[in-house]
Amino acid sequence: MSSAPIFNVLIVGGGTAGWMAAAGLRRILPEQDYAIRLVESEQIGTVGVGEATLPHIKLFNDMLGLDEAEFMAETGATFKLGIEFGDWLRTGHSYIHPFGAFGEPWAGVDFQHHWLRAQHCDVAVRPLQDYSLAVRLAREDRFGFPAGEHGNIGSTFSYAYHFDAGRYAAYLRRWCVDRGVERVEGRITGVHRNGGSGDIAAVRLESGIELEADLFIDCSGFRSMLLDQTLGIAWEDWAHWLPCDSALAVPCASGGELTPYTRSTAKAGGWIWRIPLQHRTGNGYVFASSFLPPDRAAEALLEQLDGETDADPKLLRFAAGRRALAWKNNCVAIGLSSGFLEPLESTSIYLIQAAIMDLLKLFPRRGSTADPRLAAEYNRLFGMHYDRVRDFLVLHYVANDRVGEPLWDYLRAMPLPDTLRHKIDLFRSRGTTPDYELGLFSKDSWLAVLAGQGIVAERYDRCADAMGPRQLEQRLRDLEARLDRCVSSHADHGTFVARYCAEP
Ligand code: FAD
For the stretch 41-58, pLDDT in tens is: 999 999 988 899 999 999
- Find the 263 Cα to ligand 1 centroid distance in Å: 22
CA atoms of 281 and 134, how far apart (whole Å): 22
Ligand 1 contact, 431 CB (< 6 A): no
- Whole-prediction pTM: 0.97
**Is pLDDT above 90 for 213?**
yes
CA atoms of 326 and 376, how far apart (whole Å): 10
Question: Using CA positions, which residue lies closest to atom 53 of ligand 1?
Answer: 221
**Is pLDDT above 90 for 3?**
no
Ligand 1 contact, 86 CB (< 6 A): no
Q: What confidence score (pLDDT) does residue 150 get? A: 76
- Find the 473 Cα to ligand 1 centroid distance in Å: 51
- Strands (E) in 324-383, as ranges, are 327-328, 331-333, 339-340
Can you list the alpha helix ranges (DSSP code H) found in 284-345?
A: 294-304
The answer to whether residues 97 and 445 touch, using CB atoms and an 8 Å cutoff, is: yes
The answer to whether residues 9 and 364 touch, using CB atoms and an 8 Å cutoff, is: no
Ligand 1 contact, 83 CB (< 6 A): no
What ipTM score was computed for the predicted complex, to two decimals? 0.99
Query: Which letter, b or e, does each residue of 43-59 get, where b requires 16 or more Cβ atoms within 10 Å of its Cβ?
Result: eeebbebbbbbbbbbbe
Over residues 382-411, mean pLDDT:
97
Instruction: Report, as residue numbers or ranges, the catalytic residues.
Output: 80
Q: What confidence score (pLDDT) does residue 66 get? A: 97
Least confident of 146-150, 315-319, 383-387: 146-150
Q: What confidence score (pLDDT) does residue 369 get? A: 72
| 175, HSE (Cβ side, Cα atoms, 13 Å) | 24
Tens-digit pLDDT profile for residues 173-206: 999 999 999 999 999 999 999 988 999 999 999 9
The answer to whether residues 448 and 95 touch, using CB atoms and an 8 Å cutoff, is: yes
Question: Using CA positions, which residue lies closest to atom 29 of ligand 1?
Answer: 50
Q: What confidence score (pLDDT) does residue 320 get? A: 98
Q: What confidence score (pLDDT) does residue 395 get? A: 97
Tens-digit pLDDT profile for residues 321-376: 999 999 999 999 999 999 999 999 999 999 999 999 999 999 999 988 778 999 99
**Is pLDDT above 70 for 304?**
yes
Q: What confidence score (pLDDT) does residue 504 get? A: 58
Work out which ligand 1 atom sits closest to the CA atom of 54. Answer: 25
Domains parsed from the chain with CATH numbers: 7-51+164-238+320-388 (3.50.50.60), 98-159+415-492 (no CATH), 246-317 (3.30.9.100)
Work out which ligand 1 atom sits closest to the CA atom of 189. Answer: 18
pLDDT band at residue 1 under the 50/70/90 scheme: low
| Percent of residues, the chain, with pLDDT higher than 90 | 93
DSSP-derived letter for residue 57 is H
Query: Which letter, b or e, does each residue of 258-277 get, where b requires 16 or more Cβ atoms within 10 Å of its Cβ?
Result: bbbbbbbbbbbbbbbbbbbb
Tens-digit pLDDT profile for residues 87-126: 999 999 999 999 999 999 999 999 999 999 999 999 999 9
**Is pLDDT above 70 for 461?**
yes
Question: Residues at the annotated binding site for FAD?
Answer: 14-17, 336, 349
pLDDT band at residue 256 under the 50/70/90 scheme: confident
Over residues 19-31, mean pLDDT:
98
